[in-house]
Amino acid sequence: MAVEIVAFFLGLGASLYVVGWIVDWIRLAAARLPIDIVSSFSNTRILGDGLRVTAVALTAFAVLSLLAYLTSAHRWEVNGQDWHDLVEAHGVENARSAPDARERRGAREKAASDRIEARATRRAELRKELADRVRRRALRATTPNSAAEGPPPLREAVPKPARPAPAELGEAGVRIIAGFNIMTFSALAGAGAAVLVDEFIEHAWWTVLPGWIAVFLLARHFLTKRGPLQLPARVHGAAWLLLAAATALFASAPLGVLVLVAVAMSTLGRAVARWERPTSVRGWIESPLPWLLFTVVALIGLAYTAIPPVSFPGAIVTTTAGTEQSGGYLARTAGGVLMASCRQRADATSTDERVVFVPSSSVKTITLGGRTQVFDTGDRASLVGLGEKALGLDQSAPKTISLDLRPRSVTCVGGAPAAAPGSEEGSLDAGVIEGSPPPGGRALDGEPPIGGKTPTRIAELALRYQPTVEVAAADRSWPVSVGSLLSGLGPGETPTCLIQRRAPGHLCAPSPSSLEGGGSVASDYLQYPVHLRPDSSPNLQLEAFERGQNISPGSLEQWLPHPQTLKPWATAQVYFYYAGVLRPSQWPEGVQDARLPERLETLEYWFFYQYNYFPLVVRSNLMQDEPIAADLLNVDFHQGDWEHIDVLLDPSTHTPLWVYMARHSGEGQFFPWGSAPLVFEKTHPIIRAAFGGHPSYPPNCGQQRRPKTRYALSDWLVCGTQFAFLAKNTPLVDIARTPWACWNGHFGEAIPGVEVNNANEPESVLDQLTHQVWVAGPQSPLRQAENTGVCSRDPTYPESSAR
154 or 221: which leads in pLDDT: 221
Residue 660 has phi, psi (to 5 degrees) of -110, 125
Return d(Cα 744, Cα 522) in angstroms, integer.
Answer: 5
- Burial letters 358-382, b for 16+ CB under 10 A, else e: beeebbeeeeeeeeebbbbbeebbb
How do the residues of the chain divide into helix, strand and coil, expressed in percent and rounded to 5?
40, 20, 40
Is the confidence at residue 55, as pLDDT, over 80?
yes
Is the confidence at residue 358, as pLDDT, over 80?
yes
Is the confidence at residue 766, as pLDDT, over 50?
no
Return d(Cα 228, Cα 455) in angstroms, integer.
Answer: 87
pLDDT tens, residue by residue, 278-305:
777 777 777 787 888 888 888 888 878 8
For residue 682, the model assigns a pLDDT of 92
Query: Where along the chain do its domains lie?
Result: 1-63+279-307, 72-94+167-275, 95-139, 310-390, 432-802
For residue 654, the model assigns a pLDDT of 94
Return d(Cα 756, Cα 781) in angstroms, integer.
Answer: 18
Q: How many residues does the chain have?
A: 803
Task: Provide the terminal-to-terminal Cα distance of the chain, rounded to the nearest Å.
Answer: 106
Radius of gyration for the chain, computed over Cα atoms and rounded to the nearest angstrom: 35
pLDDT tens, residue by residue, 381-420:
776 766 666 566 665 656 556 666 677 888 886 544 444 3
Return d(Cα 23, Cα 354) in angstroms, integer.
Answer: 19
- The dotted CATH code for 310-390 is 2.30.30
For residue 430, the model assigns a pLDDT of 67
**HEC profile of 671-721:** EECCCCCCCEECCEEEEEECCCCCCEECCCCEEEECHHHCCCCEEEECCCC
For residue 689, the model assigns a pLDDT of 97
Return d(Cα 335, Cα 326) in angstroms, integer.
Answer: 18
225 or 800: which leads in pLDDT: 225
pLDDT tens, residue by residue, 317-337:
999 888 888 889 999 988 999
pLDDT interval class at 484 (50, 70, 90): very high
Is the confidence at residue 86, as pLDDT, over 70?
yes
Residue 498 has phi, psi (to 5 degrees) of -95, 120
pLDDT tens, residue by residue, 745-762:
999 988 876 665 544 444
pLDDT tens, residue by residue, 120-142:
888 888 888 888 887 877 777 76
521 or 249: which leads in pLDDT: 521
For residue 705, the model assigns a pLDDT of 92
For the chain, the average pLDDT equals 82
pLDDT tens, residue by residue, 160-212:
555 555 556 677 888 888 888 888 888 777 776 766 665 555 444 455 567 77
Is the confidence at residue 693, as pLDDT, over 90?
yes
Q: Which of 135-144, 242-251, 397-406, 464-473 has the lowest mean pLDDT?
A: 397-406
pLDDT tens, residue by residue, 628-677:
988 888 888 899 999 999 999 999 999 999 999 999 888 999 999 999 99
For residue 418, the model assigns a pLDDT of 41
